[in-house]
Structure 1
Amino acid sequence: MISQEGEPTQKKKTIPEPPSSFSSLPQEITENILARVSRWNYPCLSLVSKSFRSLLSPLEIYKTRSQIGAKETCVYVCLDLPNQCARWFSLWTKPNIKQTKQRGKTTFKPDSSGNSVVPTPFSSSHSPPLPCNYIQTVGSEIYLIGGPYRERSCSVRILDCKSHTWRDGPNMTVARDASSTASFDEKIYVIGGCDDDASYANWIEVFDIKTQTWTAFPGPVPDVDDELCNDDYALVNVFEGKIYLAADEKDYTYDPKDGTWKLVREKSSFLSNSVRFWCEMENVLYCCTELGHLMWSTSEIEGREWREIKGLDKLRKHLKTGNEIEMANYGGKLLVMWHSPFLCKRNEIWYAMICLESRCDGREVWGKVECLDVLTFPVESFASFHCLTASV
């Protein structure tokens, strides 16, 4: 009897697909992926291959990052060394002290995550000494304007934080030192720091970032107030195109459109005698007093009133020990750095990252310490320090 069963069907062999290779992707896709990675990983990624190293060049990768909106806030710390040299560092911040509660009290408990202080990859001999307060950050560039104290200069030096290279900007029309600066709407305002009589017509200069040009405005006439020409301003900021000055316990405004000065208050709302440092974030001004109180006020000139940030009583005990304080905008968070001769070594700086929240229809600002830490720098000591942030 013949079996009617057919021949067994042979199973088709499955041929495994070759493993996909990252290098086989189109260059545009690879570049888009790398642009979304933190810039802190770029040094390691550039060692993977020559193509990666080419794609991660500042000219290529930051153009793509800008197109897709992938930006990071980078912190720079410049140390003024005793030999009058400046050393720059980039700060890669990791929360090293977490806020916890023990026995009903708020404390700051350290963990093992750590942080890094990375020297910037340009020679200190190529970076000019950092001025005291005439410096502004616009986007990914840091502007050093004029000369150091008692060394007037027309020069403008610009640090490109993408490539960490310095270049010369257009000179001001007059030489300045110890001038006051403020930035608003991609313009940098420079006030004073020059010979008041000889440079009256150029007492104020405004630098347009887009056109890379300077525009000069005259200073105040003598009948406005003599204190305005003393170059000793506790606070300078720009709101809705008007320049605000707090000088000699009085508040003034200047409107560049019609060239008019106005005395806003006989008694300044700014706590000039006790303020260590101040900064501006999203039309809100923040300052720190010598007793460690963190204060805030809106940028509106009329009716300006200073109030204390609530919820930071524990942090105030740290801040009041500092003999030098810096503040900066860290992506919407308030970064406060200070050196305490009682708590720090000669090469250490404390910092706190603070999250801010507006409450009660904008009548109150509350703060919460996200992390608190001390940074150690690879130097024996420093005379002073400066904290800057840039969006890269």
Structure 2
Amino acid sequence: MTFIMLPDDMVLNCLARVSRLYYPILSLVSRRFRSLLTSLELYQTRTLLGCTESCLYVCIESHDDCNRTRLFTLCRRPTQNTAPNPTLCIKPNKFLTKKEKRSRDKNLLVFVATHKFSYTNWWDCHLIAVGCNVYQVSHYTLSRVKFMDCRNHTWHKAPSMSVVRGYPNVSVLDGKIYVAGGLGDYDSSNWIECFDPKTKSWEHVPSPAAELQEDFFLDSLAIDGKLYISGSEKKSNMVYKLKENKWDVVGLTNTGWITSYSCVIDNILFGYGWSEKLEWYDFDGGSWKALKGLKKLLKLLKDHNRIRLENFGGKLAVLWDKDVHEEKVIWCAEIALEKRNEHEIHGKVEWCSVVLTVPISCKFLLSFIVTV
């Protein structure tokens, strides 16, 4: 008896143990394989077996294609046909060295076709990942929320927020989505609300005092069971302590480490700031410290257009783009981390290469990580 003659449940059990990176090639075996590889049963089996893994996604806006936004995912064993259409093509970059061209053959951002969703105006919303889903919290759209199941890349509707919010602050803390502030007609008791993906319902969260509330926030950060929100004034820099279910005010000196170029890995904050270095924040000392061992990578990061840091399954993923003649190249590096003592963390680059080449008019919008 050959493998393909086994019952579906046995085949699913085998496929669930294989990395998702190989699914594009395995889908070419037969229609049956293609159907099994896109089934929710497969991913449920992966969860039961503890075989889930982190997947990296990137959003690219194409000005040559009616300003549509395209979704790509990192694939280390891509299929040959990766281009969605001629206006946003992936092609070898003639400006790369031979070594870079060889390395990019192993790691590519591959176009992902999604269903039941318009690609436009991703920039006019918040995208935030929780588990295997990425949630879209739009601005001024009747408080509607959508989510994409990254197991089969299908969009669905989620329950609406209690009030309409324009440009709110959106964060994830302990697997729940917190939406705070924003422009809109609501009272102080509705300043913040929380969505639980498990129960698919919005929950009440105690609001801070009305004098501390603000419509627009600079940034937020969830770490160690706490949600920090940085406002434009000292009085509006706040921290929500989940276990105590209460708010406290923190000074500017304690919120200066909140940055959009940051991510949290094992309750350690990593960032890239004005120093143009990859760093981590020492909460005890109240200062940034260099992530050591990355001198060669820092040279590549110079003159970037945009940089993103992501928690890639416990490793640090660094993405950035550069304009090269008439093209835009997107780089990605995966860094293993080693904490040698309380005051020193070293990084080791496991791979670094160009993962996508697009026309220079395209824009690298954002990235996110899901677990499937």
TM-score by length of 1: 0.77
Deviations 1:255-285 (A, max 9, x none): 467775322334235246xx55112222222
Tell me how far 1:124 sits from its aligned partner: 9.2
* Conserved? CA contact 1:133–1:179, under 8 Å: no
* Conserved? CA contact 2:188–2:210, under 8 Å: no
Q: Which residue of 1 aligns with 2:316?
A: 334
Say yes or no: does 1:167 pair with 2:156: yes
* Conserved? CA contact 1:280–1:329, under 8 Å: yes
**Change over 3 Å in CA distance of 1:325–1:216 after alignment to 2:** same
Say yes or no: does 1:295 pair with 2:279: yes
Q: Which is worse superposed, 166-175 or 313-322?
A: 313-322
Higher relative contact order (CA 8 A, sep 6+): 2
Tell me how far 1:111 sits from its aligned partner: 6.5
Q: Letter of the 1:237 partner, please give it.
A: A
Deviations 1:120-152 (A, max 9, x none): 0226963453246732211111011132xxx46
Tell me how far 1:317 sits from its aligned partner: 2.6
Q: 2:265 aligns with which of 281, 306, 314?
A: 281
Say yes or no: does 1:203 pair with 2:194: no
* Conserved? CA contact 2:171–2:220, under 8 Å: no
User: Any idea what SS the aligned residue of 1:268 has?
Assistant: helix
Q: Which residue of 2 aligns with 1:263?
A: 249
Q: Letter of the 1:252 partner, please give it.
A: M
**Change over 3 Å in CA distance of 1:54–1:321 after alignment to 2:** closer
Q: What percentage of aligned pairs have identical amino acids?
A: 34
**Change over 3 Å in CA distance of 1:260–1:45 after alignment to 2:** closer
Q: 1:254 aligns with which of 234, 240, 245?
A: 240
Please provide the CA RMSD for this pair.
3.0
Q: 1:389 aligns with which of 361, 369, 372?
A: 369
User: Any idea what SS the aligned residue of 1:176 has?
Assistant: coil
* Conserved? CA contact 1:36–1:65, under 8 Å: yes
Q: Which residue of 1 aligns with 2:92?
A: none
Q: Letter of the 1:186 partner, please give it.
A: G
Q: Which residue of 2 aligns with 1:354?
A: 335
Tell me how far 1:172 sits from its aligned partner: 0.8
Q: 1:56 aligns with which of 20, 37, 55?
A: 37
Tell me how far 1:190 sits from its aligned partner: 1.4
Tell me how far 1:43 sits from its aligned partner: 3.9
Q: Which residue of 2 aligns with 1:122?
A: 114
Aligned length: 346
User: Any idea what SS the aligned residue of 2:12 has?
Assistant: helix
Q: Which residue of 1 aligns with 2:51?
A: 70
**Change over 3 Å in CA distance of 1:344–1:286 after alignment to 2:** farther
**Change over 3 Å in CA distance of 1:133–1:371 after alignment to 2:** farther
**Separation in 1 of the partners of 2:326 and 2:347?**
28
* Conserved? CA contact 1:201–1:216, under 8 Å: no
* Conserved? CA contact 1:174–1:194, under 8 Å: no
* Conserved? CA contact 2:219–2:260, under 8 Å: no
Q: 2:135 aligns with which of 124, 129, 143?
A: 143
Q: 2:307 aligns with which of 305, 325, 333?
A: 325
**Separation in 1 of the partners of 2:245 and 2:42?**
44
Tell me how far 1:73 sits from its aligned partner: 1.8
Tell me how far 1:154 sits from its aligned partner: 0.8
Q: Which residue of 2 aligns with 1:3?
A: none
**Change over 3 Å in CA distance of 1:84–1:175 after alignment to 2:** farther
Tell me how far 1:230 sits from its aligned partner: 4.9
**Separation in 2 of the partners of 1:62 and 1:172?**
29
**Separation in 1 of the partners of 2:156 and 2:216?**
28
Deviations 1:300-335 (A, max 9, x none): 7x8754322122233223323113111111111111
Q: Which residue of 2 aligns with 1:372?
A: 352
Q: Letter of the 1:213 partner, please give it.
A: S
Tell me how far 1:176 sits from its aligned partner: 2.1
Deviations 1:170-206 (A, max 9, x none): 11112223322221222111122233x7342211111
Say yes or no: does 1:84 pair with 2:67: yes
User: Any idea what SS the aligned residue of 1:307 has?
Assistant: strand
* Conserved? CA contact 2:329–2:358, under 8 Å: no
**Separation in 2 of the partners of 1:317 and 1:221?**
46
Q: Which is worse superposed, 81-90 or 128-137?
A: 128-137
Larger radius of gyration: 1
User: Any idea what SS the aligned residue of 1:193 has?
Assistant: coil
* Conserved? CA contact 2:143–2:164, under 8 Å: yes
Q: Letter of the 1:264 partner, please give it.
A: V
Query: Structure 2: where are the runs of 5+ without partners?
Result: 78-97
Query: Structure 1: where are the runs of 5+ without partners?
Result: 1-19, 95-107
Q: 1:36 aligns with which of 7, 11, 17?
A: 17
User: Any idea what SS the aligned residue of 1:112 has?
Assistant: helix
* Conserved? CA contact 2:170–2:179, under 8 Å: yes
**Separation in 1 of the partners of 2:166 and 2:263?**
21
Q: Letter of the 1:144 partner, please give it.
A: Q
Q: Letter of the 1:278 partner, please give it.
A: S
